[in-house]
Amino acid sequence: MLISAVAYGCVVYCALWLGWLGYIMQRLATRAGAPAPVPLPEPLPRVSIFIAARNEEAALPRCLASVRALQYPAHLLEVLVGDDASTDGTRAVAEAAMQGFAGSFRVVTITGTLGQARGKANVLAHLAHLATTDYWLLTDADIAVPATWVQGLLAHAAPRVGTVTGLTVVQGPSLLAKLQGVDWLLSLGSIQVATDSGQPMTAMGNNMLVTRAAYQATGGYEAMPATIIEDFALFEAVNAQGYGFRQLFEPAVRASSLPAGAWAALLRQRLRWVRGVAALPRRVQVALVLFSGYWLAVAGLLLLGRPDWALGAMLLKICAQALMLRVATRRAGLPMPAVAVVVGYEFFSLALTTHLALSRLFGRRGVDWKGRHYQ
């Protein structure tokens, strides 16, 4: 009797999970609660683009080529590259890539620290002191921004909105890259629905606008505790000052990120992100934990002697997430991945989640990132 009750409990959980995913899918498809754009300022304002770079000679030319291709008037762009003690040719390739640029461009070598800021936060703190505009657009060296990026973000920088976060997708030819692309789209689609419902979730420092007024109201990165999740820390600090936020899921602000090239690099990236999850409101953390138990329910059905139910639950999950992915790709203006990638994502997700959990439990404390160790 007890075994049957537990098995039925697993089935009920799977049904609730699928219903919740359907709700997310419907909200994402109908753009329920999505922020409406505002008229661009007249005349168009000057904007600053911040790029923190540490040993990025391979990736940086792609990023800067996309900056040069922006449809925004070049004379209204101030591009600041913060060279974070690079030991390769980061500075040289940046200067070569931007030679003849009609706007303002500068590579800044970062040697000292400001207040408590460390790593990327320290680089951004230095660039903030040098910026001469009221709108700051943040991206990373491994990102290519769309030509409509500046206008797309500015169109949501309404009065008293402190941060605007664009959509970042992972693209690459390898299977690992394609699986990361699915993972990002599904995760950001869920985050978008939560954000459009009024729940502050996060911001992505590789595709983000922050106003000078909002940043300075926080005291800047030098006034914040040292952190490796500098984008989330800034997002929280700006919200605490009473500013609003916008999260966008549309092609106009869809930036393309290079994928983590190997499993170890992917794991380091996700361990860093876990720091941000730990800072989310308790109710959001509980929801994430409850939402992540589907595979446990499937395993429970197998252990309880119901392999037919387990197989059905797994197939339903794959089909449901395929539908969710179709909604997300359509809204993002991207093609639907191949069936093999969609099916393979289930096992990729399970392996990554398991590895992350084991690393958190038994791995050494802290995170290695960009050649540095952070506690």
Is residue 156 a contact partner of residue 38, using CB atoms and an 8 Å limit?
A: yes
Per-residue pLDDT of the chain in tens (375 residues, 90 and over written 9): 556 788 899 999 999 999 999 999 999 999 999 889 999 988 999 999 999 999 999 999 999 999 999 999 999 999 999 999 899 999 999 999 999 999 999 999 998 999 988 889 999 999 999 999 999 999 999 999 999 999 999 999 999 999 999 999 999 999 999 999 999 999 999 999 999 998 888 899 999 999 999 999 999 999 998 887 899 999 999 999 999 999 999 999 999 999 999 999 998 888 877 766 666 667 667 777 777 788 889 999 999 889 999 999 999 999 999 999 999 999 999 999 999 999 999 999 999 988 888 887 776 555 555 655 455
pLDDT of res. 367? 53
258 phi and psi angles, rounded to 5 deg: -70, 145
pLDDT of res. 356? 84
**Sequence ranges of the domains in the chain:** 2-32+278-374, 47-266
Look up the CATH architecture of domain 47-266: Alpha-Beta Complex (3.90)
Choose among 271, 282, 232: nearest CA to 375.
271
pLDDT of res. 319? 95
Q: How many CA atoms lie within 13 A of 198 on its CB side?
A: 0
Query: Can you give the C-alpha Rg of the chain in angstroms?
Result: 22
User: Which residue carries 């409990």 as its tokens?
Assistant: 9
Q: How many CA atoms lie within 13 A of 242 on its CB side?
A: 4
What are the tokens at 248? 């966008």
**Would you call 79 helix, strand, or coil by DSSP?**
strand
Phi-psi region of 243 (alpha: psi -120 to 50; beta: other; left: phi over 0): beta
